[in-house]
A and B are shown apart, each in its own frame.
Chain A
């Protein structure tokens, strides 16, 4: 049986990593104070019957909140809706972003302008974009097609929101894909062309494997953004069950419904789901990465 060789870290490597970590320190400190500490402070509340956040009365109720949530139809529905939205948003945001990147990754004045135009929606707030889109659906889509706006049509609300979310973020994914595409040496394509490889074959055997790191970034980001989507359903689907994403469920529980303990428990469940899922997807995608 081969002996495992102890991994040695050189002093220089330690210095480099320490230097990198130093740059992150302000952010890590801020994150710790503003998010991490409150998060851990909040965990005990998920085991209480705390109602309104202005109330000082709360009693330990064990795992009641978790037991209730994990068997509750509406909470599970909210998770299902969130997953459905996230999957479609992740898929469409990446596919369209990649498609655009392939079209305009080479530098030219037209492509530079096009990149700016496609990236512009990302600078718009989700709420503002969603409200504009609700008018586009009603005043343009409905008038042109005679159909009901997807935001007002049972069964289509999630799809309507996927379009809005993907429209906003595809410029971001596009930029990451463009950056990845620009790092691929032309030599690979020239060699493949000489060998008679078709464009499709070059794409599947050269381009795709070499931009996997961009997939990792984009998919992980959109996965996290999708699972925690809150402002979009709040802006355009407040009163329909289809707009009841998990983040909205958490918000409603804590604030509108004055069930802070329950809301805290649902937030922790979502956090666990998110960390596990992100970790799984990241590991899987990292496994596909190849050295250029």
Chain B
């Protein structure tokens, strides 16, 4: 190993000049990073030990209920509610955003009113409102206004059971927020893109779907990921109208066995797990819609790990050269 270091510069044999060699410097040390890491590690370990040894937590209860069938069915319903509400509200949100940005004053005002109403009142109140809609309208009927002619009439509580009410509340509320996110994404697309699309004879609707929305997605997806995680946790609010999602099930169980803290821990574990899983599709969606924006796409986590493994020989060489000096 004949690695030259800075202390032994090489003289070029032909020209007699000193060639600057590769720099093999001693890396800058960061002692405070180590101090802080150790300090925090001690803190977390002692917190963990104190929780573990806390006599108020009955560990067997946690292990008993983490995969309990009732809890699992709650998890499934929570996921279904989140997925359905997000999908439908996104479609609605796009529609509202397009209405809001259209030249049509009627559409424009309607979208503005919608966002104003659904964003301006608390989600909890909207959930209760949809859950108890039967108190406002006992019957829902379809007919011609100002006449007695009706096509059908149905009992409100039959038409809208608790689950539907919960889904309606989450979806309609989320649509108002999504609309603003989609609108901001559409506004971020350059005016020249519309002009280019129009100049090749694309209609406004075709331009929207083929040119504007795909570019807006890049801006829309990160906040939408945020909204999805919020939605997942907001489904727990449906416990007020007794929809059997994760949190409702857990409170039902703990009201029987009086193990509130244990079941809250079970529920928290599940929410943490689900939110972690949700960030994976977001990452890949961002990558997909980022194409064409950067000259090279950022690596996926797998590619990053592989690159890290491939880079390790460099570290080996550095230690070798240090040994040589």
A binds B: no
